[in-house]
Structure 1
Amino acid sequence: MLLLDKTIEELLDLEEELIEAKENEKDNSLVELIRLYEELFRKISADRKSEYTSSLDQIKKTLVAYLVRYGSYLKTQYQKDDHSAASTLKKAIMYQKELPLAYYRHGFLSYKQRDYLKAITHFQLAIDYQEKCSQTVYLLNQQQLYNAQLYKSNSALYIADTANAYLKEIESEELSAKAPSYEQSPLFQLISQNEAFLHAHAFTVVSAGESRLCSKEECENIIVENLLPDTFILYFSDGEHSLYFNRKNVRLSINHAEILRFFFLHTTEQSPATKYHFERIFSENQRGKGEIPTNTYIQNVRRIQKKIESLSGTHPVITNKRYQGQTGYYYNQTIPYTIIHRSDHSFTL
């Protein structure tokens, strides 16, 4: 039966099934969940006297969160797709305008595709809505704000440079004699300078007590040449998220990559992480239903542990411990780690 033909009650029953499929990282589960929330929103909006009207805002909030957070991963939770990202970001903005992060990501996609006019528009909207957005999860960080201005500037320069090149192509001797003589603006030199800066500082490499900026090529060389032997390398690349160890690697879903990053950076034996540390990730599946199931947290950690063990053998690196009456886990530091990600990447945690 199509979602269109289901009742609100049937859609709500299906929600639980699709959330479980998402937790098990089944392909197309994200697509189906987004479609379900869209249909729920449409049906309840059409009947303001419905008993479910009070849940409309929460459904919209959940839908927007899925569109922004998972928009790049609709085909699979392991690999990004720019086309899916662009279409879902458009949808998110349709439901809620005050989304600076969505505009920023859309601007970056347009810049990659050399659609500089769209890029300027999206980056400017990201900057404008930064002051109007009340939800911190969608705000730009300082690096993104800086890059938005830089990308916007370069986009304008590329447009001007293209116009200047076209003028030279059609310029005749007669027009040239009549037109005033202009020297090329020194601003055009900024194009290559800005690109060089963005390229050299595109990625950040983080290890215990150290952080540095580098180019994408430098980062990939660390992995290809195994410059950090016997070290876990968590790589948030442009295409997917992976964990490397001595040239072996496993792909991680977006949620598992974020959880593992948190373990690396923020946990110790004295301060393990409970399910509440990951509330922003797990609560999206609760939709205001209350307590996050402890079993959800435990199952996610176990899946991560299995992937780690497939790389490094049976040597345990994530240890459990009872903490403040809750199940806690921490990274025991027996193997060093390095995290590599885009400098303007925004993490949910």
Structure 2
Amino acid sequence: MKKLESLPVEELLDQLEVLVDQRDDGKDFLLHSIISIETALLRVIKSDPESDYALSIVKIESDLKEHLVKYGTYLKTEYRKDEISAKSTLKQALRYDQTIPLAHYRLGFIAYKQQAYKSALFHFQHAVEYQRLKPQHKMSLSNQQSYHALLYLSNSALYLAAEAQQQSQKISIHNDVEQTKIDQLTLSPLYKLIDANSSYLAQHAFQITDSEGQRGASWEEYEELIDDATKDALILDMTGREIWVRYGGSAVKLTILNAELLRKLMLNSSETVPLAKTDLSDLFSVQSGDIKIERYVKSISRLREKLRNLKLPLDVIGMVAKPLNGQDTSYYYRSTEILFMLIEYAEGGQ
């Protein structure tokens, strides 16, 4: 089998289009292949100063970075989540752009979970700093994530300080060590701060977004929500390896594209502000920066078909045909008829 870099650009683009269509049909595991082809495309085009596709570099690189960051944690086997792959893809994204706040944030969280506090401190510091410098970055942090980044940053620093204090106490027993007042400090204030921050973060392990805004939730509240068969809201649960949409005790599994499409409709649309295909083009891997109306309508149809399995009292996705602004057919989420609830991990990963 030929290496991807040895193939002509036209053939790589053809392969990419086929894979994108297949992923739209629900084959999320193809994301790894899509990323491989996008990476090869960049190398091939950049290696030829006279390439006719030079103007496509910005678009291809933008798609690639978003796949690596947004979908990095989905790059796994079909049976289990692979955190090593998530870490690798996030680092790859930073090789293209060191200033992505969300990539640093997720790498910081992975390091924090692994108790690698020096690495966690590094990434949370960069997440906070790049968020400050580039608040409009396409992959920026939400306000809640920015707040959590500061707490994780503080805890990482406190853990390192506590470790340094323990080491200094061990060394101070030697007679040839001149002690200072710092050596006489107790570790208890440090651990009290760590416990206070950890307690808050535990109570805000999840981020819930609904028509009232955003709030944090603990594991206990999350479990109560997804087990509540009487809940009259459509719940988009993006917290696991598999994505589920739930209503009245029933649940249906969604593909990544299904979920991202529903998420955007929930959060950014209404009957007076429906979303046209141009508003959703960032969800599709297309080199022209635009999507065909047929693909857009087909994607909405697939999502509607999935939602029908929940036996909702009505079609929650409304349609506005030929809006006054002259755009193509547009869609919106009927939030006035069916309440929605979006649940995500507070650290931003899945």
What letter matches 1:295 in structure 2?
Answer: E
Matched residue, 1:159: 160
What letter matches 2:292 in structure 1?
Answer: P
Check conservation: 1:77, 1:254, Cα contact below 8 A.
no
Shift of 1:303: 1.4
TM-score by length of 1: 0.85
Q: Does 1:75 align with 2:72?
A: no
Q: Counterparts of 2:135 and 2:18 in 1: how far apart (Å)? A: 32
What letter matches 2:286 in structure 1?
Answer: Q
- Long gaps (5+) in structure 1: none
Please show how residues 176-255 of structure 1 align to structure 2 within 5 Å: 182-185=184-187, 186-209=189-212, 211-226=214-229, 228-255=230-257
Shift of 1:191: 0.3
Please give the per-residue CA displacement for 1:256-310, whole angstroms capped at 9, x wherever unaligned. 223223333443434432222313223xx222x2542111111111111122111
Q: Counterparts of 1:290 and 1:188 in 2: how far apart (Å)? A: 51
Q: Identity, % of aligned pairs?
A: 36
Structure 1 range deviating more: 110-119 or 264-273: 264-273
Shift of 1:176: 11
Structure 1 range deviating more: 21-30 or 258-267: 258-267
Shift of 1:104: 1.2
Structure 1 range deviating more: 172-181 or 336-345: 172-181
What letter matches 1:336 in structure 2?
Answer: L
Go from structure 1 to structure 2 and tell me whether the alpha carbon gap of 1:52 and 1:270 turns closer, same or farther (over 3 Å shift).
closer
Shift of 1:36: 0.8
Structure 1 range deviating more: 172-181 or 22-31: 172-181
What letter matches 2:206 in structure 1?
Answer: F
Q: Counterparts of 2:255 and 2:218 in 1: how far apart (Å)? A: 24
Go from structure 1 to structure 2 and tell me whether the alpha carbon gap of 1:128 and 1:13 turns closer, same or farther (over 3 Å shift).
same
Matched residue, 2:343: 340
- State the number of aligned residues: 342
Matched residue, 1:297: 296
Structure 1 range deviating more: 146-155 or 171-180: 171-180
Go from structure 1 to structure 2 and tell me whether the alpha carbon gap of 1:237 and 1:50 turns closer, same or farther (over 3 Å shift).
same
Check conservation: 1:236, 1:242, Cα contact below 8 A.
yes
**SS class of match (2:71):** helix
Check conservation: 2:28, 2:256, Cα contact below 8 A.
no
Please show how residues 1-349 of structure 1 align to structure 2 within 5 Å: 1-2=1-2, 3-75=4-76, 81-133=82-134, 136-165=137-166, 182-185=184-187, 186-209=189-212, 211-226=214-229, 228-282=230-284, 285-287=285-287, 289=288, 291-312=290-311, 315-324=314-323, 325=326, 326-332=328-334, 333-343=336-346, 345=348
TM-score by length of 2: 0.85
